[in-house]
Amino acid sequence: MVTRAIKSPTVPRSLATPTDLDPEAVQAVAEAVNPLIADAFALYLKCKNFHWHLTGPHFRDYHLLLVEQADSALASIDPLAERIRRIGGTTLRSVGQVGRLQTIEDDNDELVPAQQMLLRLLDDNRKMAEQQRAAIEVCDDHDDTPTGNVLQEILDQTEKRIWFLFEASRTGREAAEER
């Protein structure tokens, strides 16, 4: 097995962790994963925004749900960033870079009804799941099974967030209609 340092203008030599992956593979995986890290930061902040500005019925339940949602998004960041570094890539360095790479839109509305908060987060998580699946494919295409495995676990957590948001966002009328 040949191990080589990355020879890429985007990775300083001292950060080019030796790997048996081709430089093109490292770049492709990093380009697929770094926006996921940016989205996790954006989702974390959106969940905290909603957590801090929540009002109305179900306050306690939703307040706790939003903490769990934020913690889950935050927990995905370090494993992904460290995985990129282990294969010799570089990852995010600033809030500005997060802003440039994120696909999750910021939510600066002053007041968002609780039900709308859940639906917005549901939509964001669905988009993230799609992007995570696409990144897994990139990893598979470049023989980077370990990064794909990390993404599989993170996708599982994303799907759990989707499930919880879906169930919490259903109105009493919708549930009654199913009976």
Note the pLDDT of residue 18.
78
Note the pLDDT of residue 15.
73
pTM: 0.88
Note the pLDDT of residue 32.
98
Rounded mean pLDDT for each run of 10 residues along the chain, 179 residues in total: 42 76 94 98 98 95 98 98 96 96 95 96 98 98 97 98 96 57
Note the pLDDT of residue 7.
41
Using alpha carbons only, what angle is made at residue 68 by residues 63 and 70, rounded to the nearest 5 degrees? 95
β-bridge mates for residue 4, sequence order: 19
Which of 78, 89, 87, 1 shows the shortest CA–CA distance to 41?
A: 78
